[in-house]
Amino acid sequence: MGLAYIVLFMSIPSLPPSPEDTQSDAVFNVANPLVMRQVSSIVGLGSIQERQERWYLFVRDAIRYDPFAIHLDPEENAASRTIENQRGHCVHKAILLVTGFRLMGVPSRLGLARVRNHLAVPTLEARLGTDVLTPHGYAAFWNGARWVKCTPVFNRSLCEKLGTVPLEWSAEVDILFQQTDGSGQRFMEYIEDYGLYSSVPMDFIRAQLEAMYPHAFDASGQWSLAEHD
């Protein structure tokens, strides 16, 4: 069922973009000066696809993936904050990618899903209590004909450590998590797609985290797991 489901996941049709998909808000803060400077310094000149690729590679490789860096305040999820931190959870990295695309005038959305990490780092799996990750964040952009999904999460150095290849850029084909590692073992599996969002659904994200990882919240309802406790 795995491969068939992944194909289905990747091909679900959706409605064309709305004006909201190019706008700035508190999280997709396109109008933030730091975001504007960072995008300008990375993307340079060229076709829109070339500029998108440069931004994708920057977000994938220059922003370190930190699976414990989960925040439930909108300002901590803002694209500008992720640039400041130079690291982030998959949702942070997807938000940053979407924000840069919107700055280029490309309609973009945040995608959320539930995934299984078959090669989870033992420390991560032990602290989460499961190999299921939710909500996993990815990005989607409108290429003029359809929504194309892409995942800028695992940077090149991390992929080399895990024995898999980094996900390259495509303006036409959905690029989601690697199904297998370099030896052919199962790596990432999409279990459920929650859909695409023009704004970040913080209440939904909190509900998913509380349901899956109740032990990770402290008495005040704040996420309590960090990369180094």
Q: Which residues pair with 220 in a beta bridge?
A: none
List phi, psi (to 5°) of 74.
-50, -40
Percent share of the chain, pLDDT over 90: 61
Render pLDDT for 139-179 as a digit per residue (tens, 0 to 9).
999 999 999 999 998 888 887 887 777 888 999 988 876 55
List phi, psi (to 5°) of 16.
-60, 165
Give the list of residues 6+ apart from residue 4 with CB closer than 8 angstroms, or none.
none
CATH architecture observed for domain 2-10+22-216: Roll (3.10)
86: left (phi over 0), alpha (psi -120 to 50) or beta: left
**Is 135 in a helix, a strand, or coil?**
strand
Contacts by residues 219-226 (CB-CB < 8 Å, ≥ 24 positions apart): 222/72, 223/70, 223/71, 223/72, 225/68, 225/70, 225/127, 225/128, 226/68, 226/69
Residue 129 in this model has a pLDDT that exceeds 90: no
| CB neighbour burial string for 97-113, b if at least 16 within 10 angstroms, e if fewer | bbbbbbbbebbbbbbbb
Q: What is the mean pLDDT of the chain?
A: 86
User: What are the sequence ranges of the domains in the chain?
Assistant: 2-10+22-216
For residue 43 the two structure tokens come to 């993307």
Render pLDDT for 180-202 as a digit per residue (tens, 0 to 9).
445 555 567 888 899 999 999 99
pTM of the model: 0.87
Give the confidence band of 3 by pLDDT, cuts at 50, 70, 90: very low
